[in-house]
Chain A
């Protein structure tokens, strides 16, 4: 079986104050993740306060854009076209929700190495990171 990847219209939810660097960074070709200067850990989704040590000394950093698939599912009957929702564990540490793209969806596996790509959304100023096989 093969399930060809197809581009999908990507919706965006209303952003909260402080969220924009993730999406504007993606539009500029950068994967931006929040880093804590006190406990030296990355977290995701991004918050002003580190959820591990409760420090507010957090900042956006550019991640390398490489990681491994933690888990995934091919949605076959929940939308007009099949798509692969996934969690990818970044080399920097955090596991983030994403899509796996630009590959035969039936070949995706847990533990597979992947690399970031950026996909436009319905808002021309905002993009989102997704991942394809490395």
Chain B
């Protein structure tokens, strides 16, 4: 059974704030849920399934429906880090296709700036890593270093990811960073963990978002333009028992599954939301999804090739995690949201891709430097 055409994205909402005081996490999730329901023209009473990840308080998929007064018959709390929400969309489509539910609410929200992000601790690997001082940025930095060593990727090439995102962010009034930056700005920003500079890193924000996945018969009744899910794939990748290879991601598995299910190829993708925790994340992912050959990602992202209206692969037109938003250190939900805006024709006019009929969103959770998750979803405007 395929999920192709079995589910639609019926509602989206991205919280406009990036710094938030005096709200609880549950309250912020609820505001995001309300935003997506308003977008769709639905109410909390219409929701019959709730999916969430590790950013929810309490026993997530149990606590939040109780808090919001939902009556649900399907719950999922898959936690694969920042990619979780792209996993949820696939699982939601499967549940809808199986007739288990019709309106799936997915929320993500929290306060990244308070340092309260959920951290995965105590894995079987922890004793063998913790003494060596692994933090998010130096782990991704090791992936970047090895990619440079094997393929000649340069810091200038990585910088283009940030530069391109900043060109888009200038048009987003809610973006955390709205200033257009240059390659030189990135290279001159402080070195955090060689070879990654401060501007190779995504922003840290208090924010959130929500997505509604709905059955076809519900989608036909909604006021929103119809965006159909046509493919989704997921995987994870780790240290492989010591056969460590930091030059590729789980997208080598999630991408082909999603493309095969959708019946399209990278050449058909008009817009791509690519998870951009760090600049290197984008370069490796673009290679692994087949937008260019392995090792040529650095060249591919250079010279504005990711800038809408300029390059071949417009990406992260909201400004991405690099500049716009990375709510509670989990950027997946915003990747889905901007892809849906593009397919609806609701992106900012300065960055809206013409004739955007097929779009891709990709999420990466955890760390490229140790173990991470990958999820790819492909959507079509109907």
Binding site for B on A (CB under 8 A): 8, 10-16, 19, 22-23, 41-47, 50-52, 70-79, 83, 85-87, 89, 93-99, 110-111, 121, 128, 130
Q: Which of B133-160 contact A (CB under 8 A)?
A: 133-135, 137-139, 141-143, 145-146, 149
Q: Residue B239 contacts which of A16, A45, A79, A121 (CB distance < 8 angstroms)?
A: A45
Interchain CB contact (< 8 A) of A99 among B132, B195, B246? B132
From known contacts A45-B125, A99-B133, infer whether A110 and B146 are also in contact, taking CB-CB under 8 Å.
yes
Partner-A contacts on B (CB < 8 A):
122, 124-135, 137-139, 141-143, 145-146, 149, 190-196, 198, 239-244, 246, 370
Contacts of B143 in A (CB 8 A): 71
Q: Within the assembled complex, what's the spacing in Å between the Cα atoms of A116 and B368?
A: 25
Q: Which secondary structure dominates where chain A touches chain B?
A: loop
Q: A45-B239, A85-B133, A95-B242 are in contact. Are A75 and B138 (CB under 8 A)?
A: yes
B243 touches A94 (CB 8 A): yes
Tell me how far the C-beta of B143 lies from the nearest C-beta in chain A, rounded to whole angstroms. Answer: 7
**A12 in contact with B130 given A51-B241, A75-B138, A110-B149 (CB within 8 Å):** yes
Whole-angstrom distance from the CB of A122 to the nearest CB of chain B? 9
Let me know if B146 and A22 touch, CB within 8 A: no
Closest B residue, CB atoms, query A128: B131
Known: A77-B190, A85-B133. A22 touches B242 (CB 8 A): no
Q: Is the CB of B142 within 8 A of A12?
A: no
- The distance in angstroms between the C-alpha atoms of A22 and B127, with both chains bound, is 10
Establish whether residues A74 and B194, one from each chain, have CB atoms under 8 Å apart when the complex forms: yes
CB < 8 Å A-B pair total: 130
Contact B124 A85 (CB under 8 A): no
* Known A10-B131, A78-B192; further 6 A-B contacts with Cβ < 8 A: A14-B126, A16-B124, A41-B241, A70-B246, A76-B192, A76-B193
For A95, give the chain B residue with the smallest CB separation.
B244
A14 near B244 (CB under 8 angstroms)? no
Q: Say whether A83 contacts B133, CB under 8 Å.
A: yes
Query: In whole angstroms, what is the CA distance A50 to B243 when docked?
Result: 13
- Chain A residue nearest to B247 in the complex (CB): A71
Residue of B nearest to A73 (CB): B141
Which A residues lie within 8 Å of B198 (CB)?
Answer: 77
Task: Name 11 A/B residue pairs within 8 A (Cβ), A-sorted.
Answer: A12-B130, A13-B127, A14-B122, A16-B124, A51-B240, A71-B142, A73-B195, A78-B193, A94-B243, A95-B239, A99-B133
Q: Using Cβ atoms and an 8 Å threshold, which residues of chain A touch B138? A: 73, 75, 78, 85
- Distance of A98 Cα from B127 Cα, bound (Å): 12
| Cβ B131 vs Cβ A43 within 8 A | no
Chain A residues with Cβ under 8 A from B142's Cβ? 71-73, 85-87
Complex Cα distance, B130 from A49, in Å, reads: 22
Q: Smallest Cβ distance from B64 to chain A, in angstroms?
A: 30
Distance in angstroms from A39 CB to nearest chain B CB is 10
Shortest distance in angstroms between B199's beta carbon and chain A's nearest beta carbon? 13
